[in-house]
Homo-oligomer: A and B are copies of this chain.
Amino acid sequence: MAKRSSSSNEVLLGLLTIQPMSGYDLGQTIRESVGHFWNESYGQIYPNLKKLAAGGFVTARTERQKGKPDRQIYSITQKGRERLANWLAVPPQPEIPRNELLLKLFFGGQASLQVSMEHVQRMIETESAILRKIEQIEKEIDKNRQYPDVPYWSMAVRFGQLELEAHLRWAQETLTVLNKLAKKQQSRGTARKERRHGGK
């Protein structure tokens, strides 16, 4: 069984080393910091926080607010830090990739060239947007230079940059190839038509 024992709990512990936070805060922080290489849904965050609290890895304190609902503020404990350190020392599992775009492109021969080109085009747009967002994050990190973990955050950002740039280079290259295929198909099409209709 064992399986992945997935890192969902450890992201929470890790972020709580920066400062105590509520489940809601954690959700926000995940999206804004590690969002481009790690996601968690609230349906995962809230139950996991309860489990972590039950195990003594975090402690909860209720903060009452006027108007808004109460907040549960979680802090990491010594035991939690130890668990985090243990997890950090374990070599990361090799990723099981699932890239739907590549899959659709791989079977591109079963669709029209138009379809494949649109997919790549759309990819360029979404990934460019992410790249811009990451560069935004980079600036944000630079502003908060007081935190000692900044070098590590920068490494993660840098990864995103280099990877996305590679993706975009590939996408441009691929569009060129698809265009050439389209021209070939077109010329074959007219050639056939000309033959059928007795040429010009």
The interface of chain A, by Cβ under 8 A from chain B, is 7, 10-11, 14, 17, 33-34, 36-39, 81, 84-85, 87-89, 91-111, 115-116, 118-119, 122-123, 126, 148-149, 151-153, 155-156, 158-159, 162-163, 165-167, 169-170, 173-174, 177, 181
Contact = CB atoms under 8 A, between A and B. Distances in A.
B88 A104 contact: yes
A170 to B, nearest CB: 5
Contact of A151 (B14, B91, B181): B181
5 contacts: A10-B107, A14-B107, A91-B122, A107-B152, A155-B177
A28 B98 CA distance: 17
Q: How many copies does the complex hold?
A: 2
A99 B38 CA distance: 6
A100 B170 contact: no
Contacts of A89: 111, 115
> Closest 5 interchain pairs by CB?
A166-B166, A109-B149, A92-B100, A88-B111, A14-B107
A107 B88 contact: yes
A117 to B, nearest CB: 12
B152 A108 contact: yes
B110 A101 contact: no
Given A38-B102, A89-B115, 18 more contacts: A10-B103, A10-B107, A14-B106, A17-B107, A34-B102, A36-B97, A87-B104, A88-B104, A91-B122, A92-B103, A95-B98, A106-B153, A108-B149, A108-B152, A109-B149, A151-B177, A158-B174, A166-B166
Contact of A170 (B123, B159, B169): B159
A31 to B, nearest CB: 12
